[in-house]
Structure formats: structure tokens, C-alpha cells
Amino acid sequence: MKKLIPTFLFCFLLTQLFGQTQKKISTLLFAQYNKTIYGATLGNNPSGIGLGLQTFFNNKTKFKPTIEITGDIYLEDDKVYRTDLNGTPLNDVPSMVNLFIGSSFQPTQNFFLSFVAGPSFISGQTLFGIKPSIGFYFSKNQRWTGKLSYINIFNQDKVTKEDFGTISFAIGVKLF
């Protein structure tokens, strides 16, 4: 009996030590709403909805590498045929897929800032985009999160060189 209690306590201590280690990655699934704030075809795609995955590579610093993949669809359309000055039709944004990579900064346990950039796929074009974000966790276990982002896609219209910009609000849940 005297050997059983120390053995049990040692095993309990080991499980607590290994149970407290931080996972190497954290992945969040987001549902998001985008409101278009500028673009050549603003009336044809004023708002959209979508899903996204964001993965944080956890380390011992407050700066964490991150990858974000999002897909959005723009269902609203004012059905106006828009052309540039030469009469060439302007491509609207029926959908958008972003594959962004960057870094996040987490100064506190419940708050983070991130900046990601990379390719954005719109109407058969591959364009460059950026996405700075402010995020927060609703609880200390970081299970639910919210995020406010600004998305800028450069040169969405090749003729006018006009950018496409949205404000995005997302609610997410931690997958693992």
C-alpha cells in the first residue's frame, strides 16, 4: 500500500505535466459576412458570405505564423451592365477565394492582431490581397472567437487599376 500511493501520485503528476503542454497548431473555422466598401462593380457585389479556416502555429513568443484560407460568395446583384471607358465589360465578383499567409500578434490571452497577404482568386484572375484583422476570444479556453478584418484586393479591374475592398466580420470556433 505504501508503494501504491507514491506510484499513483507520480503518474498523476506526469499526466498533469503532459496535459498542460500547448498544441503545435490551433485551427479555427469561421463563418463570415463581407460588406464591400469600394470597387469598380460595387453595385453588383455589395455584400457576401463565406467560410474560412485560420491556422496559428503556436510557439513561445507573442508573434505566431498564421495561414488563412477563405471562400466567399456574393449573391446580391443590381443587374447593371458596367463597362470601362473603352466599352469592355467590367468583371463583377461572384466569388472570391483567398490563400493568405502572415503573422499574428497576441498581446493578451483574449486578444490578437493579424496581418496576412497572398493570392486572391476572383473571376478567373489571380490577384494580390492583404488582410489586417483584430480578433478576440469570448472565453479563456479560446473556444469561440470573433474577428473584424479589412480586405484589400489590388487591381481588381485591370483597365482602371481600381482595387476591391471589403470589411469582414467573422465568428469562429476552435477545431483543434
SS (H, E, C) the chain: CCCHHHHHHHHHHHHHHHHCCCCCEEEEEEEEEEEEEECCCHHHCCEEEEEEEEEEECCCCCEEEEEEEEEEECCCCCCCCCECCCCCECCCCCEEEEEEEEEEEEEECCEEEEEEEEEEEECCEEEEEEEEEEEEECCCCCCEEEEEEEEEEEEEECCCCEEEEEEEEEEEEECC
Query: Mapping DSSP to helix (H, G, I), strand (E, B) and coil, where does residue 171 land?
Result: strand
Helix, strand, coil percent values for the chain (each to nearest 5): 10, 60, 30
Model confidence at 89, in pLDDT bands (50, 70, 90)?
Answer: confident
Tens digit of each residue's pLDDT (9 = 90 or more) over 68-84 = 999 999 987 766 777 76
The full set of domain ranges for the chain reads: 23-174
Mean pLDDT across 136-158 = 91
Look up the pTM and report it: 0.81
* Region 23-174: CATH code: 2.40.160.20
User: What is the C-alpha separation between 166 and 34, in angstroms, rounded?
Assistant: 6
Task: Say if residue 137's pLDDT is above 60.
Answer: yes
Tens digit of each residue's pLDDT (9 = 90 or more) over 159-171 = 778 899 999 999 9
Model confidence at 17, in pLDDT bands (50, 70, 90)?
Answer: very low
Angle at the Cα of 69 (from 151 to 132), degrees rounded to 5? Answer: 30
Greater confidence (90 vs 10) lies with 90
Torsion-angle region of 166 (φ positive above 0: left; ψ -120 to 50: alpha; else: beta): beta
8 A C-beta contact, residue 55 and residue 174:
no
Model confidence at 149, in pLDDT bands (50, 70, 90)?
Answer: very high
pLDDT of residue 139: 84
pLDDT of residue 22: 60
Task: Say if residue 30's pLDDT is above 50.
Answer: yes
How does DSSP assign 45-62, residue by residue?
Answer: -SEEEEEEEEEEE--SSS
pLDDT of residue 14: 47
Query: Mapping DSSP to helix (H, G, I), strand (E, B) and coil, where does residue 160 land?
Result: coil
- Chain mean position to CA 10: 43
